[in-house]
Amino acid sequence: MIEVHIEWLDDSGDLLPAGLKRRGSIGRVTRQVANDDDVFDIGLKEFAIDPDRQLQKLDFDRNQAYHH
């Protein structure tokens, strides 16, 4: 489990308008496993970066099959 703490406020630390929700950036986290010199990418999680303070919890499936 990975926790990502996000804080998107204006320059003075005040909340941004609610109309900006879902108009921000997209965060991406990948999980990769290396075997010798070969790297297998086994997961990608995406999450919205919306105004205000948020906590995103990303859980990668440990049983997900490797792909090359």
Any domain includes 42: yes
Mean pLDDT of all residues in 58-63: 74
Tokens describing residue 17 = 């308008």
Mean pLDDT of all residues in 16-34: 83
Mean pLDDT of all residues in 4-24: 88
Any domain includes 67: no
Band of residue 3 on the pLDDT scale cut at 50, 70, 90: very high
Residues spanned by the domain of 37: 2-58
Any domain includes 68: no
C-alpha pair distances (Å), 51 with each of 33, 46, 47: 33, 16, 13
> How far is residue 59's CA from residue 1's CA, in Å, rounded to a whole number?
5
Residue 66: pLDDT above 70?
no
Any domain includes 8: yes
Any domain includes 63: no
pLDDT given for residue 38 in this prediction: 72
Number of domains the chain contains: 1
